[in-house]
Amino acid sequence: MKSFKVGPRCSWLVVVGLLAFVVTVAWSLAANAVSGWTIRINAINLSTTDTAVCGGGEGLRGDKLQVNVFTDLSGVSSGTATFEDATGHITTLNIDTVLGFGPGIVLIDSSTNNAVPIWLDDTIAPARVTVEIPRGCENTICTFTLGVDPVRLQITF
């Protein structure tokens, strides 16, 4: 049987090759272990005592919001947010941008500039979810307050 010997000239090549192999395998395993993050919201505005973050835009009793958004590891977002006001008018946002901002996360439909900010900061407790059409705090048309309205908010990583 013939043995394979690596001389001093080739040993660094073997080490670099093994290191590249380990990094490639580890990277692929890490990428598969984390599949991104998902935001889901189901909310109904049943109160008239909401305090909107911007001082207005409490909405009407019966307003509804449903959100299902996924962001992958490269930051590409997709999903929808459907807002139905108390009169039955439906606005669907095609969410393609998710950004963090000081007190929370904002979901944006860049084609219409409509947004759903999720206010999570402790200084604004209880947390709120607002609907801005178009984006901008002064354009808030409805506020859903956790602990006041039935709001199911799920953010998974």
Inter-residue contact 67 to 81 (CB < 8 Å): yes
pLDDT in tens, the chain (157 residues): 555 555 555 444 444 444 444 344 444 333 332 347 899 999 999 987 776 777 778 889 999 999 999 999 888 899 999 999 999 999 999 999 998 888 889 999 999 999 999 988 766 656 889 999 999 989 999 999 888 899 999 988 8
Kindly report the number of other CB atoms within 10 A of residue 149's CB atom. Answer: 23
Which pLDDT score is estimated for 20? Answer: 44
In CATH, what number does 37-156 get? 2.40.370
- pTM for this predicted structure: 0.74
Return the pLDDT at 37.
Answer: 83
The pLDDT score that the predictor gives to residue 5 is 55
Q: Which helix (H) or strand (E) holds 11?
A: helix 11-33
